[in-house]
């Protein structure tokens, strides 16, 4: 073989060798595709232990892969590895903002790691955008805990209200809201006592608390002292009038009407005062005055179910049954628990021959009436227990 032939053969072998290496060594993109497919397969098989290493390899090759970052962050979060979940979730959100569920998990992770400031920022950003009930609830409760820890009770109460709007019968949320509102009321009372102890508002707040506990005489005394301090304080006369109207003492009941009239002298659009004056007028048989008062109340506040129900009673008495039915249906639409409206609507339906509709309304009436009776018993027992505790405290002293 000539030297020329030897050189040609060597060159050919070298070329074949290069082609062979290119064919057996995968490209970077091939590796990315391989790890991506493998990770997806493990995710579908619900094998996070195998998917996590594949996602980590994928991210090492392709750091800007949002899906890989997000999936890895989610898997680490649900494994309880919040420390390693945070950078992955944060990177995914930086690459693609408005990934609200990922930002929710980021905020929760930060909170569990004790980074409360970062957690609050992420939870606040994502909470308004969450639609899925379970996630919204978890994020909302975490945010409430964050706010409560720093004394931001007003913000915590706002979040609790948003959660209750979506889940109005959730007992854990109801208790959470009750606790928050109680704490907020206590904080507000304390602040008022420190900053304005001699104010009409302080006396009004004390009166409300006393009324809530059934302490009639001291409640009335504080209402009257508040009026003495500021007779033109909006709503004050109405509150006292309402308390007097519902007293068991006929003499105190008779003192209610002047308070409602005084309330209107302060604020002619005091809807509560108009409604109560309508009740007073109806009670003494002055149906025209009652009709005018209820109509005025509804003009001011069309969403007052009590005014709708009371006006419907008068419409029935005037034999205007169609208008009465519409008014009662409106009352129930506003407040489905208005058992009086259910009962009266059931009566109208029965008179119209609508047997099934009448039965449904009677069933609703019984359900909500029983619920109210149970609620009243609970509050009664709470007041009795509270009184016993107060008596025990006095005895100990």
Q: What is the CATH number of the domain that holds 76?
A: 1.25.40.10
Instruction: Tell which of 129, 153, 175 closes a domain.
Output: 129
Q: What is the pTM of this model?
A: 0.68
Q: Give the separation between CA 241 and CA 237, rounded to whole angstroms.
A: 6
Q: What is the pLDDT along the chain (397 residues), one digit of tens a residue?
A: 444 443 333 332 333 333 333 334 568 899 899 989 998 999 999 999 999 999 999 999 999 999 999 999 999 999 999 999 999 999 999 999 999 999 999 999 999 999 999 999 999 999 999 999 999 999 999 999 999 999 899 999 999 999 998 888 889 899 999 999 999 989 999 999 999 999 999 999 999 999 988 899 999 999 999 999 999 999 999 999 999 999 999 999 999 999 999 999 999 999 999 999 999 999 999 999 999 999 999 999 999 999 999 999 999 999 999 999 999 999 999 999 999 999 999 999 999 999 999 999 999 999 999 988 887 777 666 555 555 544 454 454 4
Q: Which pLDDT value is given to residue 380? A: 64
The answer to the question of residue 98 being in a domain is: yes
What pLDDT digit, counting tens, does each position of 239-252 carry? 999 999 999 999 99
Q: Give the separation between CA 69 and CA 89, rounded to whole angstroms.
A: 7
Residue 111's domain comprises 36-129
Q: Read out DSSP for 117-154? A: HHHHHHHHHHGGG--SHHHHHHHHHHHHHHHHHTT-HH
The answer to the question of residue 329 being in a domain is: yes
- Tokens found for residue 315: 């419409």
The answer to the question of residue 232 being in a domain is: no
Q: Give the separation between CA 357 and CA 342, rounded to whole angstroms.
A: 11
Q: Which pLDDT value is given to residue 1? A: 44
The answer to the question of residue 57 being in a domain is: yes
The answer to the question of residue 69 being in a domain is: yes
The answer to the question of residue 280 being in a domain is: no
Instruction: Tell which of 97, 129, 161 closes a domain.
Output: 129
What pLDDT digit, counting tens, does each position of 103-132 carry? 999 999 999 999 999 999 999 999 999 999
Q: What is the number of structural domains in the chain?
A: 2
Q: Which pLDDT value is given to residue 387? A: 53
The answer to the question of residue 224 being in a domain is: no
Are 317 and 287 a contacting pair, CB within 8 Å?
A: yes
The answer to the question of residue 370 being in a domain is: yes
């Amino acid at each position: 073989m000539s030297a020329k032939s030897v050189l040609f053969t060597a060159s050919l072998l070298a070329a074949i060798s290069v082609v062979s290496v290119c064919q057996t060594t995968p490209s970077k993109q091939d590796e990315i595709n391989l790890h991506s497919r493998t990770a997806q397969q493990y995710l579908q098989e619900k094998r996070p232990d195998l998917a996590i290493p594949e996602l980590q390899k994928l991210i090492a090759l392709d750091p800007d892969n949002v899906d890989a970052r997000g999936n890895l962050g989610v898997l680490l979060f649900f494994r309880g590895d919040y420390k390693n979940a945070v950078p992955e979730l944060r990177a995914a959100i930086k690459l693609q903002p408005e990934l609200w569920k990922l930002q929710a998990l980021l905020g929760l992770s930060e909170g569990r790691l004790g980074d409360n400031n970062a957690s609050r920022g992420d939870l606040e950003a994502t909470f308004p955008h969450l639609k899925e009930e379970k996630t919204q609830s978890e994020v909302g409760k975490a945010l409430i805990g964050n706010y409560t820890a720093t004394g931001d009770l007003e913000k915590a109460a706002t979040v609790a209200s948003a959660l209750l709007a979506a889940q109005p019968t959730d007992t854990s949320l109801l208790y959470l809201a009750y606790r928050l509102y109680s704490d907020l009321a206590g904080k507000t009372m304390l602040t008022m006592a420190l900053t304005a102890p001699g104010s009409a508002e302080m006396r009004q707040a004390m009166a409300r608390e006393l009324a809530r506990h059934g302490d009639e005489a001291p409640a009335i005394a504080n209402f009257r002292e508040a009026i003495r301090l500021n007779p033109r304080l909006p709503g004050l006369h109405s509150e006292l009038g309402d308390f007097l109207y519902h007293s068991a003492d006929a003499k105190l009941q008779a003192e209610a009407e002047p308070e409602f009239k005084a309330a209107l002298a302060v604020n002619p659009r005091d809807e509560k005062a108009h409604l109560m004056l309508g009740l007073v007028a109806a009670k003494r048989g002055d149906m025209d005055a009652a009709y005018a008062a209820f109509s005025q109340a509804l003009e001011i506040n069309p969403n007052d179910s009590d005014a709708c129900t009371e006006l419907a009673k008068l419409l029935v008495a005037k034999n205007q049954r169609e208008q009465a039915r519409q008014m009662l249906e409106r009352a129930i639409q506003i407040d489905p628990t208005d058992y009086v409206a259910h009962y009266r609507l059931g009566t109208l339906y029965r008179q119209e021959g609508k047997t099934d509709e009448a039965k449904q309304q009677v069933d609703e009436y019984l359900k909500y009436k029983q619920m109210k009776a149970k609620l009243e018993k609970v509050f009664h027992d709470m007041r009795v227990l509270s009184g016993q505790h107060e008596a025990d405290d006095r005895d100990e002293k």
